[in-house]
Structure 1
Amino acid sequence: MYMMVISSALALCAGAAGAAALQIPLLSSHKQAPIQVADEPKPLVNSSALQDLISGDRLMVRAKKMFEIAKLGEDEYNHPTRVIGSAGHLGTLSYIYETILQLGDYYSISNQSFPAVSGNVFESRLVLGNEVPKSAAPMGLTPPTKDKQPVYGALVLVENEGCQPSDFPDTVGGNIAFIKRGTCPFGTKSENAGLKGAAAAVVYNYDKDPVAGTLGTPSPNHVATFGLSGAEAAPIIKKLEKNEYVDAIAYMDAEVNQILTANIIAQTTEGDPDNCVMLGAHSDSVAEGPGINDDGSGTMSLLEVATQLTKFNVSNCVRFAWWAGEEEGLLGSDYYVATLPEEENMKIRLFMDYDMMASPNFAYQVYNATNAVNPNGSEELRDLYLDWYKEQVLNYTFIPFDGRSDYDGFIRNGIPGGGIATGAEGIKTEEEEEMFGGKAGDWYDPCYHQLCDNLGNLNMTAWVVNTKLIAHSVATYARSFKGFPKRTASVASAAYENEIKYHGSKLFI
């Protein structure tokens, strides 16, 4: 591996970029017996044998530990959280590092620190005319209104989609811009509004649904920005198009901070280093809750598979990754891939993403990654998941491969990818209720990005099933890449790029 290997406790910076690094202590309360006597011969990894070692009891022990770690965030956030920059996230990194460290020399451990942005909205309110829209929601990484006080003004309809400064009339100065979603990133719209002197901005949807978006990379010209559903925007647009006056009040108490955080990478010391199986989960939660399913479940599944894999030899190297800053917009995985030298990029034969493995109202979801749109090999990975579910006589469903998780940077940089999930805020259909049980009409995870994403938010059946599938995927490719396409120096197709409206959990266009 080209990254620096660290030999002691993980050193990270928890404050602003450039501050002195904090030494993160190992969690001494977490003890684990050695997995295997060092000189005992090990068999070549076998899928069935590795799957048999996956235990719901062991996963739940990890979950309880993870929730205790999330409580470290209570002093700052008044509730458990593992958001980047919090004590809960630093504790998570320490736990991951210690767990791998205890496995001896089976893995080399590396730490990749990187600058990140962390946003938090403490309070917000939007009033349009005499209405308080129910769908109004702050954009991710939005700045506050001036002096963190309410701003008042006329609502000004912006031409086109606000992707050019010329779309904004001079009358937007000191007022609140009303901008249609589409064509360009939300951050561009907010920046253009700020350049024209707008006091705040509202981006409304072109269909009836709400907009849960992010401004992305901060700009000094961004203004406090809300998303609004097309359904609530429609009657307002009619008034504005008739040149009727609509007054507005916008209030945002928010902050956007620059911090340092880190990815943790663990790679087997054995196995062909030029042919690596790579898989990842994100170590952080949103600020609103402890994130025990999102993505504590994926984080812990990888830790358990990494632990049990030490009982076997591997033919190809296996590289586990725990990404930071996923909830802020795939920051860690993007940084990792962007800084990979081309030679190192080509050593990764495929990347597997495991985000949300235990949603309570679950469906067994497989990313519909095809070779026609994605790097060659993505479809073979997809089919490995399908074949396994079929062998287990389990139903499955396809979900869009649309940039919502950490696979995105890999696909954009020519690395085949895919993964599985159990669902987030999407609505379970009646057909899926017949296929998987649960309740049609409800979210797959009713506690998605909320405080209640705690120990009670885990479906153990789904979690164990999918952790076994993770084990199967690791064992299959750690044993052999026979029949799997060779890497080529390709990038994502234009078709993939055109489909991507997400960058992480939030829309960015």
Structure 2
Amino acid sequence: MKPSILVQTLGVVGLGCEAAVLKGYGDQFQHVLDGVSHLLDKQHEKGHKKPVDSEHLQELLSQKALKNRAEKLYEIAKLSEEGYGHPTRVIGSPGHNATIEYIIESLGEFGGNYYDVWKQEFEAVSGSVNHSEVSVDGDKIDAQPMSLTPGTPKGKPVSAQLELARDKGCEKGDYKNLKGKFALVVRGECAFGDKSNAAGEAGVLGLFIYNNEDGDVHGTLGEPKKHHVPTFGLSKKNGEDLKDHISGRQAVANVTLDAKVETIKTYNVLAETKDGDKDNVVMLGGHSDSVEEGPGINDDGSGTNSLLEVAKALTEFKVKNAVRFAWWAAEEEGLLGSNHYANTLSKEENHRIRLFMDYDMMASPNFAYQVYDANNKDNPEGSEELRNLYVDFYEDNDVNYTFIPFDGRSDYVGFITNDIPGGGIATGAEGLKTADEVKKFGGIANVQYDPCYHQLCDNLDNLAYDAWLMNTRLIGHSVATYAKSLKHFPKRSELKTDAIQKPTFKYRGHYLAY
């Protein structure tokens, strides 16, 4: 007999007396009684949870707990040392696989009866470059291979004439008469991947794309296409110098690019409260992977662990609206996990998500408290209200903050482009801290917010714990606020289209896409 049937038959009020009678029948009923007792304990526990409250949830968050999780994550990253020569949690590595299991195990330990937990499998495209060398007429050129570029055949040197393409290089016709040659083109008008594919269709051997603004081009080709060719990025100065050099002469480029693009099976991890309104889902996420070069304890181990601690604290409360946590894989490959998730939602599931909050890099050593400058004019309605929640929290805690561009560098992209309101906070990556920001946040001017960004030294010494706790408290506040009520948050409007909309962000993760 199932405990649920027994409860229905006996009734809760008379359960004690009836249970005593049943006990007389022997041990065969003991397991039934144990089940009933467990069920009543759970009902009692659930009934006595208080509604979620931001202040009390924040009190459950601590630096000690964050530090313990960081230490655990670093030990996990070290599982990759044999295969990679150093700690890393890049997708496909033992370190990343163990990170996924660690997240799932942690959720089971503190939230087994509170959350539904599942994995979403997908295939991620990953690229790596073993060796790259470019020269023109014997002079070495500073050219950066783009992410997900194919290599030269068998990684061997290829020599051919280098000429300027027509226009912006977005169409096959822009490479007329360049078959069997290398081409130089300026950045702009279309994505780097589209330029590379058009060049390949025309028979071009390789492509150099130079910047149309100051600075280098650290770009990505994005999703591999049939005709992609070896593609490099050049700074504006180097590109213009090269353009002048090849004008009016038959310049010869010698290119070696040992690179590979492969497909790796990996997983997103999701956890949703069993209770709460499933038609009003409050969603938040960070990414579980690192770059190959290092363990990623700040990027984004800090976000990964903040989410775990907030998820743990939330189990002490009742929620009105369902809360869904996500740990995305393959963010470092170009936001692949979050884009896959958002792009494969049905229209009905999409519309149940009221907002998405992104938490990537919460503890940069030379930090600034950064808020994505999302507004309702350029983004789905509700993005601005989320931005204002972050601002209000910092102001209420007498903490300075600064706005940063909402330009496509993190996992909110897939949600925004699928009409789901979004936003987030960060503490800075490779950008340089300004003198004005030093006045606001302390730290060192003209030094990266995270001097170990995408490097081996992104380890346990690369965390600003005060900033990390402050931002973890803000994450808790955002969850508690919206899990309790969405009364003043804009309702989802009807989707503009059933089709996936073309992203307008110039970044795809940490790489330029346009």
> What TM-score do the two structures reach when normalised by structure 2?
0.88
CA distance in 2, matches of 1:497, 1:402: 14
* 1:187 to partner: Cα distance: 1.0
3-state SS of 2:167 partner:
coil
* 1:245 to partner: Cα distance: 3.3
* 1:130 to partner: Cα distance: 4.2
Counterpart position of 1:216: 222
Amino acid at match of 1:345: N
3-state SS of 1:350 partner:
strand
3-state SS of 1:105 partner:
coil
3-state SS of 2:303 partner:
helix
| The 10-residue stretch of structure 1 (243-252 or 209-218) with the greater mean CA deviation from structure 2 | 243-252
Q: Once the two structures are superposed, what CA deviation does each residue of 1:327-381 show, in whole Å capped at 9, x if it has no partner?
A: 1111111111111111111111110000111111111100111111111111111
* 1:119 to partner: Cα distance: 1.1
Partner of residue 111 from structure 1, selected from 89, 106, 119: 119
| The 10-residue stretch of structure 1 (69-78 or 53-62) with the greater mean CA deviation from structure 2 | 69-78
1:126 aligns with 2:126: no
Partner of residue 421 from structure 1, selected from 388, 401, 426: 426
- CA 1:213/1:317 → structure 2, altered by over 3 Å: closer, same or farther? same
CA distance in 2, matches of 1:257, 1:499: 26
* 1:236 to partner: Cα distance: 1.4
Counterpart position of 2:150: 143
CA distance in 2, matches of 1:446, 1:127: 31
Amino acid at match of 1:469: L
1:465 aligns with 2:470: yes
CA distance in 1, matches of 2:193, 2:338: 21
CA contact (8 A) 2:77 2:295 kept: yes
Amino acid at match of 1:206: N
CA contact (8 A) 1:428 1:444 kept: yes
CA distance in 2, matches of 1:131, 1:322: 46
CA distance in 1, matches of 2:80, 2:149: 22
CA distance in 2, matches of 1:268, 1:287: 33
Counterpart position of 1:255: 260
Counterpart position of 2:183: 177
3-state SS of 1:99 partner:
helix
Amino acid at match of 2:147: G
Counterpart position of 1:267: 272
CA contact (8 A) 2:296 2:458 kept: yes
Alpha carbon RMSD of aligned pairs, Å? 1.6
Structure 1 runs of 4+ with >4 Å offset: 496-499
* 1:75 to partner: Cα distance: 2.5
3-state SS of 1:427 partner:
coil
Give the aligned length. Answer: 467
CA contact (8 A) 1:127 1:133 kept: yes
* 1:196 to partner: Cα distance: 2.5
Counterpart position of 2:76: 69
- CA 1:66/1:498 → structure 2, altered by over 3 Å: closer, same or farther? closer
CA contact (8 A) 1:69 1:88 kept: yes
Partner of residue 481 from structure 1, selected from 476, 481, 486: 486
Counterpart position of 2:25: none
Q: Once the two structures are superposed, what CA deviation does each residue of 1:454-478 show, in whole Å capped at 9, x if it has no partner?
A: 1111111111110010000000011
1:188 aligns with 2:194: yes
CA contact (8 A) 1:85 1:118 kept: no
1:439 aligns with 2:444: yes
CA distance in 2, matches of 1:120, 1:166: 30
Counterpart position of 1:79: 86
Q: Once the two structures are superposed, what CA deviation does each residue of 1:142-200 show, in whole Å capped at 9, x if it has no partner?
A: 11111111212222111111101111132x33332212111111111112222222222
CA contact (8 A) 1:358 1:463 kept: yes
CA contact (8 A) 1:275 1:317 kept: yes
Stretches of structure 1 that go unaligned for 5 or more consecutive residues are 1-36
CA contact (8 A) 1:207 1:231 kept: no
CA distance in 2, matches of 1:228, 1:328: 21
| The 10-residue stretch of structure 1 (262-271 or 73-82) with the greater mean CA deviation from structure 2 | 73-82
* 1:499 to partner: Cα distance: 5.3
1:200 aligns with 2:206: yes
Partner of residue 152 from structure 1, selected from 144, 155, 159: 159
CA contact (8 A) 1:163 1:189 kept: yes
CA distance in 1, matches of 2:209, 2:381: 37
- Map 1:365-404; keep pairs closer than 5 Å: 365-404=370-409
Amino acid at match of 1:84: I
* 1:315 to partner: Cα distance: 1.0
CA distance in 1, matches of 2:320, 2:295: 37
Amino acid at match of 2:124: A
3-state SS of 1:372 partner:
coil
CA contact (8 A) 2:386 2:422 kept: yes
Counterpart position of 1:333: 338
CA distance in 2, matches of 1:249, 1:469: 52
Stretches of structure 2 that go unaligned for 5 or more consecutive residues are 1-40
- Map 1:481-500; keep pairs closer than 5 Å: 481-491=486-496, 500=505
Counterpart position of 2:240: 234
Partner of residue 353 from structure 1, selected from 353, 358, 365: 358
Structure that is richer in helix per residue? 2
Amino acid at match of 1:428: K
CA distance in 1, matches of 2:317, 2:218: 44
- CA 1:129/1:362 → structure 2, altered by over 3 Å: closer, same or farther? farther
